[in-house]
Chain A
Amino acid sequence: MSDKIRLVRNLILLGLPLLAMMLYFALKPMDYMSLEYPMWIEEKEFVTGRVDDRRDYDTLIIGDSRAKSSVLPAVLDESGNTYNMAIGGATPIEMYYALDRYLKAHEAPRSVFVIFAPYHFYDIDNYNQTLYFNYLDTGQILEVAREARGLYGEDKVAYKGWITDVISYKLRSPAKYLAAVYEALPAGKRAENTERYMQVRRDLGFTLFGTEESNNEPSYEVHEAEFKSSGVSSKYYERLLERLQAEGIAVTIEQAPLNPASYDNLRPEFLEGYTEYMDKIEKEHPEFTVVKEVPRYEAECFGDNNHLNRTGALKYTAMLKKRYF
């Protein structure tokens, strides 16, 4: 055997286990991914129509974790024609592409509720997770980087080394995923991830984040001196609204509740800035229903400092039902 062939053979032998790992990471993500993952994959399968019970819905809920944990579709709409396609950790970026995917695979819904936490208009805190979960296609990721050029928040989506990160995630590089497998040892996470997936599917996209019976700790927004609306997130929010408008969908922009510690301690400049931003949205889209007031719910309605518990979700959904259904 020549030396060159020997080297190639040895490199292949060295690489084979890596290749096997990469295949495993790509094919069995439910075995090792965190408990957030089933929610993301459930939503991706729902919007792309890759589910057994694929059908069109009259009403969709779009937003982040606050929307996900605040609206119970089965309670809001007893006919079962409402689906909560919000995702925990999502910003308008992910939701814009989710809507795009949904519209490509389904008839446009009659109405959509858009609910984002104010901090998601200025902070993209989880984009790396979006990449890690391989939620966006390569083309979409490149588009995000292009759209972000020169905007506030560009460093969060097109940070130093993002291209190699994207390649690593797309190829399911062991350097990125092996640690998760290691953490999932010895039993693996398939059982709990599957259970979470089934629960989200059963509850038409709804899921809880906080598990406490009561919480009165300040939310993210309390730490902000002022509201900054400019940036990648806002750009995608506006793209999302334009798309909804172009499709002729009835849009309702709602606000998720805050607990007393959060509501009472919000800086006036922050609240003022947020209201101004919502005023601007209302002016640009007069046909939308824009609710600007953030509800103040008692601590017993919160499962953690940012999210409602079941009691809170039932109360909020009942309020929406009364108002819109």
Chain B
Amino acid sequence: MVFNSVAYAIFFPIVAIIYLCLGTGAGNIWLLVSSYFFYMSADIRYGAILFGASLVTYISTNILEKTANNALLRKITAVMAVSIELLLLFFFKYFGFFNEMTGNYFEVSFLLPVGISFYVFQAVGYIIDVYRGDIRAEKNFVQAMLFTAFFPGILSGPISRAGELIPQFKVKHKFDYANVREGLVRMGWGLFMKLVIASRLSIVANLVYDNHTEANPVQLILGTFAYALQIYCDFASYSELAIGSAQCMGFKLRENFFQPFFATSSAELWRRWHMSLMSWFKDYLYIPLGGSRKGRLRKYVNILIVFTLSGLWHGAAWTYVLWGFLSGLFQVTGEILKKYRERIMELWPLKGRLAGLVHHGIKVFLTVFFFNVSLVFFRAKSISQAAEILKAVFTGFRFSDIAKTNVFELGLGYINLGILAFSLLILFAVDLARERGREPQKLLTGLSPALRWAAYYGMILMILLSTNIGAQRFIYFQF
């Protein structure tokens, strides 16, 4: 079941209303049953894998809790539990990839359960937290199982932390008007980002990438930029829908995006993009590897390891691995050049607000530019296709191509292009408001009733008009 479906529009209110009417115990059982129903609606077999991963987590965390004085046993338990979780991920997600590398030695293939990368990481994080003694293991079976299965985040995150989510299952959530309203507005905004913006951008990106050999460099740039915005709107919209759904029921999930395209460096962009995953990598991989504590070179190597693995997490293909490696490389390069940039700024300090703005704009442009370069590998079907696209752009670009390029030939007619431009302006305004510390939902509720209702109706109308346009499936489902 996906968030942008009629089935979810029926499922969610029923689940939320009944949950809010029930007490903690019955409410959690109801949520657990509903979450499994939600997850298994795509394929009933998924439930067994989720149950297996959750059971391993439950048993291992409780063994860790009970063997507080036996360091060796704790270590063995933690290693075994994490290994089992990662083996699950390996078999279902990466087996085919590695099998292909060995010339398809094994003649078997495994079903890829949606969301497995998300809930396995969530479970691994929980096991490590208990092992480290940061949190206590949850003894309540239902609450522990619900932690990995909680439906708003199971398919595409945000990746929750046990210390944040499990305590929320212990509280009786009552109906709260402000929470429900804010949650619904966030869900509406999520649908707007997905259906109105991302689906239209998908048409441009798909057209360019499916016909990359015929596209000129300007079209390739536009297609890549469209894809960057598409994937942002697509994934951020899923997070909005997940966070909004949870909020309606009184839960608070982690934020996942924070205006990534306002970042002024690669490092900052990755602190704003898929925040729940990047913070997971930071806490459970980067810091244990030594982080920045073991010298500069080691720090750079750690960054490259983290980003390369993050690429592999996204998909079992060399394009993702290379995308991850490049993202890390740009970050490392940014770090290396940082002192030189600062030196230049000391020698030639910028004077005046305009100069500051221009400097800021250049930094944002370069950040987005390098992000787009790496994204070519993320979107391309193969490394050779990505290489062809990059070669065409970097060796074939002519300013005269700009005049020759007709944006109306990118798959969208006048009306859809107009709707897209208008929607992107709204997106920019919302992101700008958030960047300046203002919550758009609060700005919306501060409007006069007539304007507020006009905004609601306008949003609904645009969503409804966009339900049959472009790609309707969420990109991050495949991860």
Residues of A within 8 A of B (CB): 3-4, 6-7, 10, 13-14, 17-18, 161, 164, 167-168, 173-176, 178-179, 182
Whole-angstrom distance between the alpha carbons of A18 and B464 in the complex? 10
B residues near A161, Cβ cutoff 8 Å:
5, 7
Report yes or no: B7 in contact with A7, Cβ–Cβ below 8 A: no
Assess A167 versus B6: contact at CB under 8 Å? Given A7-B177, A7-B181, A17-B457: yes
A selection of 20 A-B contacts at a CB cut-off of 8 Å is A3-B175, A3-B177, A4-B175, A4-B177, A7-B177, A7-B180, A14-B456, A17-B460, A161-B5, A161-B7, A164-B5, A164-B7, A168-B6, A174-B464, A175-B6, A178-B464, A179-B465, A179-B467, A179-B468, A182-B465
- 1/0 per residue, CB under 8 A from A, across B453-477: the answer is 1001100110011011000000000
Question: For the side of the interface on B, what is the size category?
Answer: 10 to 19
Residues of chain B whose beta carbon lies under 8 Å from any beta carbon of chain A: 5-7, 175-177, 180-181, 453, 456-457, 460-461, 464-465, 467-468
Q: Is the CB of B6 within 8 A of A173?
A: yes
Residue of A nearest to B453 (CB): A13
Query: How long is the Cα–Cα vector from A164 to B7 in the complex, in angstroms?
Result: 6
Interface pair A18/B460, CB less than 8 Å apart: yes
> Which residue of the partner chain B has the closest CB to A15?
B460
In the complex, the answer to whether A178 meets B465 with C-beta atoms within 8 Å is yes
Q: Which B-chain residue is minimally distant from A167 (CB atoms)?
A: B6
Complex: A288 Cα to B211 Cα, angstroms: 52
- A174 to B468, alpha carbons, bound, how many Å? 11
Q: Which residues of A contact B467 (CB under 8 A)?
A: 175-176, 178-179
User: Measured between alpha carbons, how far is A175 from B5 in the docked complex, in Å?
Assistant: 10
- Given contacts A164-B7, A168-B6, A182-B465, A14 and B460 within 8 Å (CB-CB): yes
| B465 proximity list for chain A (CB < 8 A) | 178-179, 182
| Bound CA span A7–B178, Å | 10
**Closest A-B pairs by Cβ, 10 of them:** A3-B177, A175-B467, A164-B6, A174-B464, A178-B464, A164-B7, A168-B6, A175-B464, A178-B465, A179-B468
Given A17-B460, A175-B467, 17 extra CB contacts under 8 A: A4-B175, A14-B457, A14-B460, A18-B460, A161-B7, A164-B7, A167-B6, A168-B6, A174-B464, A175-B6, A175-B468, A176-B468, A178-B461, A178-B464, A178-B465, A178-B467, A179-B467
Give Cα A173–Cα B5 distance, bound, in whole angstroms. 12
Q: Which residues of A contact B177 (CB under 8 A)?
A: 3-4, 6-7
A6 partner residues in chain B, CB cutoff 8 A:
177
Chain B contacts for A179, CB-based, 8 A: 465, 467-468
> A4 vs B178: C-alpha distance in the bound complex, in angstroms?
11
| A contact residues around B457 at 8 Å (CB) | 14, 17
Interface residues of A, dominant DSSP? helix
* Assembly CA distance A18 to B463 (angstroms): 12
**A14 proximity list for chain B (CB < 8 A):** 456-457, 460
Residues of A within 8 A of B453 (CB): 13
Residue of A nearest to B469 (CB): A179
Bound Cα distance from A13 to B460, whole angstroms: 12
Q: In the complex, what distance in Å separates the CA atom of A3 from the CA atom of B468?
A: 35
Closest to B457 in A: A17
Expressed in whole angstroms, the minimum distance between the Cβ of A235 and any Cβ of chain B is: 28
Q: How far is the CA of A263 from the CA of B25 in the complex (A)?
A: 71
Cα-based distance from A179 to B466 in the complex (angstroms): 8
Chain A residues near B181 (CB-CB < 8 A): 7, 10
A4, B174: Cα distance in complex, Å: 11
Q: Find chain A residues with CB under 8 A from B175 CB.
A: 3-4
Complex Cα–Cα for A6 and B468 (A):
33
Whole-angstrom distance between the alpha carbons of A81 and B460 in the complex? Answer: 51
User: In the assembled complex, which residues on chain A have CB atoms less than 8 Å from the CB atom of B176?
Assistant: 3
Closest chain-B Cβ to A131's Cβ sits at a distance in Å of 13
Q: How far is the CA of A226 from the CA of B406 in the complex (A)?
A: 42
Bound: A168/B177 CA distance, A: 29
Q: Which residue of B lies closest to A11 (CB)?
A: B184
Shortest CB–CB separation between residue A168 and chain B, in angstroms?
Answer: 5
Q: Kindly list chain A residues whose C-beta atoms are within 8 Å of the C-beta of B460.
A: 14, 17-18
CA of A63 to CA of B217, assembled, Å = 51
The docked-state distance in angstroms from the alpha carbon of A13 to that of B456 is 11
Q: What residue in chain A is nearest B468 (Cβ atoms)?
A: A179
- The answer for the CA separation of A225 and B452 in the assembled complex, in Å, is 59
How many Å lie between the Cα of A13 and that of B452 in the bound state? 13
Using Cβ atoms and an 8 Å threshold, which residues of chain B touch A173? 6
Residue of A with least CB distance to B175: A4
CB distance from B134 to the nearest CB of A (A): 37
Closest B-chain residue to A166, C-beta based? B6
In the complex, what residues of B have CB within 8 A of residue A13's CB?
A: 453
Q: Tell me the minimal C-beta distance from B118 to chain A in angstroms.
A: 22
Q: How far is the CA of A13 from the CA of B467 in the complex (A)?
A: 22
Q: How long is the Cα–Cα vector from A179 to B462 in the complex, in angstroms?
A: 10
- The CA of A17 and the CA of B460, in the complex, are separated in Å by 10
A160 to chain B, nearest CB (A): 9
List chain B residues, Cβ under 8 A from A17: 457, 460
How far is it, in angstroms, between the C-alpha of A178 and the C-alpha of B195 when the chains are bound?
Answer: 14
B13's closest neighbor in chain A, by CB?
A11
Contacts of B468 in A (CB 8 A): 175-176, 179
Point out the residues of chain B lying under 8 angstroms from A18, CB to CB.
460
- Taking CB as reference atom, which chain A residue is nearest B178? A3
Q: How far is the CA of A3 from the CA of B176 in the complex (A)?
A: 8
For the complex formed, measure the closest distance between the CB of B212 and the CB atoms of chain A, giving whole angstroms. Answer: 27
Docked Cα-Cα span, A164 to B457, in Å, equals: 24
Distance (Å) between the CB of A222 and the closest chain B CB? 26
How close is A108's CB to chain B, nearest CB, in angstroms?
A: 40
By beta carbon, the residue of chain A nearest B2 is A161
**How many Å from the CB of B196 to the closest CB on chain A?**
13
B456 vs chain A, min Cβ distance (A): 6
A246 and B457 CA atoms in complex are apart in Å by 55
Looking at the assembled complex, report how far the CB atom of B268 sits from the nearest CB atom of chain A, in whole angstroms: 38
B461, closest chain A residue (CB): A178
Find chain B residues with CB under 8 A from A174 CB: 464
Rounded to whole angstroms, the CA-CA distance of A283 and B464 in the bound complex is 52
| Distance, CA A164 to CA B465, complexed state (A) | 18
Provide the residues of chain B in CB contact with A167, threshold 8 Å.
6
A7 to B465, CA, bound (A): 25
Complex CA distance for A178 and B465, rounded to whole angstroms: 6
Roughly how many angstroms separate A10 CA and B467 CA in the complex, as a whole number?
23
- For B188, the closest partner residue in chain A by CB is A14
Complex Cα distance, B457 from A17, in Å, reads 9
Chain A residues with Cβ below 8 Å from B456 are: 14
Name A182's closest neighbour in chain B (CB-CB).
B465
Instruction: Determine the distance from Cα of A168 to Cα of B180 in the docked complex, in whole angstroms.
Output: 25
Chain A residue contacts of B6, Cβ below 8 A: 164, 167-168, 173, 175
